[in-house]
């Protein structure tokens, strides 16, 4: 399975003028049935994601691995690095950078907007990448971004590793706002995995995110704890994600 740098979406700018980096693509070995945008963590890039994903036994999935803009990050005292949005200390009272979240969610949606209509699309990521994947999932359910602009991508699956859900406090009231929103929330399968020894994004935030999604009306949430795991991924996680994706996306050979 090969991957190569693609120019699609690369170099686009957010509302604040931050420029997104290179986008890497892992092309499917077999029939193209699904496309997933995979989002790296804070300070990383799309290249490292593509190297991880190219070894997975999912021949019918095309992986798109964008690189976040380099921006000052409050958590790092304003030091610039690649980040999907600005974040301070991860806590119960975390203030969400809605403008940054919307800009990254729109960039991801743009990457998926040109996929063939018969190809199912999804989003996944690690750490901050998982956070923006979950934010995008809530935008899908609501049918709009945080700024009110319409969200038009029909997401079919979400994967979040060692992440958290931005805006979880107000999610339930938003999902209950209409039957159509509730229907979309109930329709999308989500798998979340988190290490119990994570000292970067504490385990309780992963657990709280899963609970918040479920109570808000996302009925297909699976939460997988990993005893003793820190803030990193292990093969066992992907060994569970692979068949989950194949089954939920109805890929050839998954039945």
Q: What is the pLDDT of residues 193-240, one digit of tens each?
A: 999 999 999 999 999 999 999 998 999 999 999 999 999 988 899 999
Residue 224: helix, strand or coil by DSSP?
Answer: strand
DSSP class of residue 94? P
Give the model confidence (pLDDT) of 75-98 as tens digits.
899 999 999 999 987 765 566 788
The verdict on residue 255 lying in a domain is no
Inform me whether the pLDDT recorded for 166 exceeds 90.
no
- CA distance linking residue 94 with residue 6, whole number of Å: 34
For the chain, the domain total comes to 1
Residue 34 is assigned to a structural domain of this protein: yes
Residue 91 lies in a domain: yes
Assess whether pLDDT exceeds 80 at residue 241.
yes
- pLDDT of 180 above 60: yes
Please give the model's pTM, rounded to 2 decimal places: 0.91
Would you tell me the crossing angle of helices 128-142 and 179-187 to the nearest 10 degrees? 140
Token readout for 169 is 């406090």
Structure tokens at 228: 């003793």
* pLDDT > 70 in the chain, percent: 89
Q: Is residue 57 part of a domain?
A: yes
pLDDT confidence of residue 13:
60
Q: Identify whether 24 is part of a domain.
A: yes
- In angstroms, the CA 37 to CA 63 distance is 6
Mean pLDDT on 164-187: 82
Residue 67 lies in a domain: yes
Cα–Cα distance, 167 to 213 (Å, whole number): 11
111-120 exposure pattern, b = at least 16 Cβ within 10 A, e = fewer: bbeebeeebb
User: Which residues are bridge partners to 222 per DSSP?
Assistant: 191
The answer to whether residue 120 sits within a structural domain is: yes
Band (pLDDT 50/70/90 cuts) for residue 3 is very low
State how far the Cα of 237 lies from the Cα of 161, in Å rounded to an integer. 8
Instruction: Tell whether 253 is covered by a domain.
Output: no
**Contact at 8 Å (CB) between 130 and 206?**
no
The chain-wide mean pLDDT, for the chain, equals 89
- Section 174-188 average pLDDT: 86
Residue 143 backbone zone (phi > 0: left; psi -120 to 50: alpha; other: beta): left
Tokens describing residue 183: 């229907």
Q: Which domain holds residue 81?
A: 3-248
pLDDT in tens, 120-129: 999 999 999 9
Which are the contacts of 5, defined by CB distance < 8 A and separation ≥ 6? 22, 23, 24, 25
Backbone dihedral angles phi then psi of residue 30, each to the nearest 5 degrees: -105, -155
Q: How far is CA 30 from CA 97, 161, 249, in A?
A: 39, 26, 15
CATH number, domain at 123?
3.40.50.1820
Please tell me the distance from the alpha carbon of residue 152 to that of residue 138, in angstroms, as a whole number.
12
79, 72 Cβ separation under 8 angstroms: yes
């Amino acid at each position: 399975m090969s991957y190569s740098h693609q120019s699609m979406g690369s170099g686009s700018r957010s509302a604040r003028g931050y420029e997104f980096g290179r986008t890497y693509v892992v092309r499917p070995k077999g029939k193209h049935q699904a496309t997933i945008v995979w989002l790296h963590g804070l300070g990383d890039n799309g290249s490292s994601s593509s190297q991880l994903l190219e070894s997975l036994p999912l021949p019918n999935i095309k992986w798109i691995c964008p690189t976040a803009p380099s921006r000052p990050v409050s958590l790092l005292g304003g030091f610039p690095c690649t980040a999907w949005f600005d974040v301070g200390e991860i806590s119960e009272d975390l203030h969400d950078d809605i403008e940054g979240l919307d800009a990254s969610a729109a960039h991801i949606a743009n990457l998926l907007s040109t996929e063939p209509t018969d190809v199912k699309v999804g989003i996944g990521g690690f750490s901050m990448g998982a956070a923006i994947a979950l934010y995008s999932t809530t935008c899908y359910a609501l049918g709009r971004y945080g700024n009110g602009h319409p969200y038009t991508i029909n997401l079919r699956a979400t994967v979040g590793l060692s992440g958290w859900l931005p805006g979880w406090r107000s999610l339930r009231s938003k999902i209950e706002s209409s039957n159509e929103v509730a229907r979309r929330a109930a329709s999308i399968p989500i798998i979340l995995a988190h290490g119990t020894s994570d000292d970067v994004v504490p385990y309780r935030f992963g657990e709280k995110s899963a609970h918040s999604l479920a109570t808000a009306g996302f009925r297909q949430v699976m939460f997988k704890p990993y005893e003793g795991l820190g803030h990193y991924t292990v093969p066992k996680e992907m060994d569970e994600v692979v068949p989950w994706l194949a089954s939920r996306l109805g890929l050839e050979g998954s039945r």
